[in-house]
Amino acid sequence: MDDLLTSPLHDRHLALGATLGAFGGWSMPLSYPDGTVAEHTAVREGVGVFDVSHLGKLAITGPGAADLVNRVFTADLRRIGPGQAQYTLCCTEEGGVVDDVIVYLVGPEEVLAVPNAANAAAVAEILRAGAPTGVTVTDRHRDLAVLAVQGPGVDAVLPDAPALDYMAFADVATTDAGAVRVCRTGYTGERGYELLVPADGAGAVWDSLVAAGARPCGLGARDTLRTEMGYPLHGQDLSVDISPVQAGSGWAVGWDKEAFRGRDALVAEKAAGPVRRLRGLRATGRGVPRAGMDVLRDGERVGVTTSGTFSPTLKCGIALALIDTASGVGLDDSVAVDVRGRALECAVVKPPFVASHVR
């Protein structure tokens, strides 16, 4: 993994004995010695801290910066004000999803977009292609670290965090390297914050959070936590081949907006009805579904799993799956997942699989 980029916290992860893996060109911690289940439980019952510095960071600045973002991405940026963040999608003109993105609206002339690591360059290229004179898109990928502090015990490790509504942010803390942006967001379903920290100050912030009781957590636990919430992962549950209409992410589309990338295709798909829909599957038998497994009813293929894991909270297998609309399979129906030639019985459910506590 010598050719991979490393987080500003790489030395901390090595010192903690983390198992590392490649994510979007970065070497990031999968888990620490006590394992994914212990980390998952810490977030559900206490507080954990994730290094997600591999996420992209794009600064869009200049007169008309917010208007550019609103023309490109699906959600209606006019529905939030400065100091608020928004989940949105960057689509192809055919309605597929290039990436899902969190945008931070600083003001009409400044927006920070946080795409996934693997897609940051593609999102930047799309924004630059549509940028009017005077608007610049700057890659700040290496300038900022991102720490996600998540769990019901978050206030004990961040006692001085500002009182923020969900998806609101403020630049409040100061390190030797500069201000820290604190946002009430997360990818776990628990109350928490995401901190955008100048890279040079990330080590000190991480150390203070761990000293205050936050448990270091890897991307393995981040995946089990987000799957329990039914949050999509780009490249699996959303992709250039899986539209937001199919993935149940139509709530992130500003249907009344005059223009955004992919608008015509998505409006047409919504009107016609998607040929497949993302559903939750909860195993009623023993076994764990994984991504890419056939979903069967009465022996006939009716879909495919896009994500699958063991749920540490529910103590059973869970999955997200694209189910063919024509099959007639609906909520509360029973299906089977073909797990290496063995039929794993599952109930079709609506995510989240466990209760959300984000607000």
Q: What structural domains and CATH numbers belong to the chain?
A: 5-52+142-229 (3.30.1360.120), 58-139 (3.30.70.1400), 275-349 (2.40.30.110)
Residues with Cβ within 8 Å of 114's Cβ and at least 6 positions away in sequence, in order, are: 55, 56, 57, 58, 101, 102, 103, 104, 146
pLDDT at 14: 98
Distance CA 324, CA 276 (A): 4
Model-level pTM? 0.97
pLDDT category of residue 1 using cuts at 50, 70 and 90: low
The closest of 280, 282, 283, 287 to 342, measured between CA atoms, is 287
- The predicted-structure confidence for 39-76, as pLDDT tens digits, reads as follows 999 999 999 999 999 999 999 999 999 999 999 999 99
Q: Average of pLDDT values for 254-274?
A: 98
Give SS3 for 295.
strand
Phi-psi region of 2 (alpha: psi -120 to 50; beta: other; left: phi over 0): alpha
User: Does the pLDDT at position 2 exceed 80?
Assistant: no
Beta-strand relationship, 19-23 and 178-183: unpaired
105: nearest Cα among 127, 78, 134: 78
- How far, in Å, CA of 175 to CA of 347, rounded? 49
pLDDT tens-digit map of 108-128: 999 999 999 999 999 999 999
pLDDT (0 to 100) of residue 173: 76
Q: How far is residue 276's CA from residue 318's CA, in Å, rounded to a whole number?
A: 19
